[in-house]
Amino acid sequence: MELLNIQQIEKYYGSKSSLTKAIDDLSFTVEEGEFVAIMGASGSGKTTLLNCISTIDRVTAGHIFLEGTDITTLKGKALNKFRREKLGFIFQDFNLLDTLTAYENISLALSIQKKPAKEIAAAVKQVSDQLGITDVLEKYPYQMSGGQKQRVASARAIVTDPRLVLADEPTGALDSKSAKMLLERFRYLNQECGATIMMVTHDSFTASYAGRVLFIKDGKIFHELTRGDDSRKQFFDRIIDVVTLLGGDVSDAL
């Protein structure tokens, strides 16, 4: 089933005299239960795209439909409600609240939705089991490793059972071991729990965990790869080939 439908969106920055097209007539769809990676060099517009989908930023033209609702027309409270209930976010720099424990960071996402305390405890327990962070729940962010922090952030993103999880360079601040562990978890969430994940990255290794990779250059879709029945290693090699073709500063990525 089609979950996300992006129709010819455009995003311009600047004034008429010096116009920057961050996104230039971009369209694609994401099916429910998919794990999509979006790749591109710095300045290719991939983060802008994510910001537009996540309603943090507004498109200049075009429409974005999530489950048939046009989110580009949402405003104020409806926008917050949409963000709260339909989306889950994972950021490069974790964005955990440093004054709260891991447990509280996760539960906050639920208490904002005004869920009762009992339900919160059960949900946090379940999600922390899935992500293997039960033993750090009472710790503060500064007491955790980067990998643990990112898994706590992921737990916070999925604990509300969102329709779509958006991840912005989730492995960007992690060492390779932690990154691998996190991506394994993403795959688990995607395949075993049925979460739909859309991930922005410039790292081919990270992208190779996805089922489909969209390459963006200068605000346009440049290429698209589907994993199909390939092993992760084979898929990774195919991604590298495209990245080489793309050239520029992504070519030196892993």
State the minimum distance, in angstroms, from the CB of residue 146 to another protein.
12
| Alpha helix segments (H runs only) across the chain | 46-53, 76-86, 102-111, 117-131, 146-158, 176-192, 204-207, 232-246
d(CA 30, CA 34): 7
Task: Count the Cβ atoms, other than its own, within 10 Å of residue 184.
Answer: 12
Q: For residue 75, state whether it binds another protein (rule: CB under 8 A).
A: no
Residue 45 in contact with residue 23, Cβ under 8 Å?
yes
Q: In sequence order, which residues have a C-beta less than 8 Å from that of residue 122 and are 6 or more positions away?
A: none
Binding mask 95-114 for another protein (x = CB under 8 A): xxxxxx---x--xxxxxxxx
State the minimum distance, in angstroms, from the CB of residue 36 to another protein.
20
> What distance separates the 2 farthest-apart alpha carbons in the chain?
57
State the minimum distance, in angstroms, from the CB of residue 101 to another protein.
9
Residue 220, strand partner residues: 217
Residue 124 in contact with residue 107, Cβ under 8 Å?
yes
Stretch that binds another protein, among 63-71, 86-94, 218-226, 230-238 (CB under 8 A): 86-94
Stretch that binds another protein, among 25-33, 79-87, 211-219, 232-240 (CB under 8 A): 79-87
Task: Count the Cβ atoms, other than its own, within 10 Å of residue 93.
Answer: 13
State the minimum distance, in angstroms, from the CB of residue 140 to another protein.
5
Residues 146-185 that bind another protein (CB under 8 A): 156
Q: In sequence order, which residues have a C-beta less than 8 Å from that of residue 75 and are 6 or more positions away?
A: none
State the minimum distance, in angstroms, from the CB of residue 109 to another protein.
5
Residue 35 in contact with residue 190, Cβ under 8 Å?
yes
Which of 8, 13, 81, 125 is close enough to bind another protein by CB under 8 A?
A: 81
Size of the site for another protein (CB under 8 A): 35
State the minimum distance, in angstroms, from the CB of residue 81 to another protein.
7
Q: For residue 122, state whether it binds another protein (rule: CB under 8 A).
A: no
Q: For residue 57, state whether it binds another protein (rule: CB under 8 A).
A: yes
Q: What share of the chain is helix, strand, coil (3-state, %, to 5)?
A: 40, 25, 35
Nearer to another protein, 98 or 184 (CB): 98
Nearer to another protein, 7 or 72 (CB): 72
State the minimum distance, in angstroms, from the CB of residue 170 to another protein.
14
List residues near another protein by CB under 8 A: 54, 56-57, 77, 80-85, 87, 89, 91, 95-100, 104, 107-114, 116-117, 120, 140-142, 156
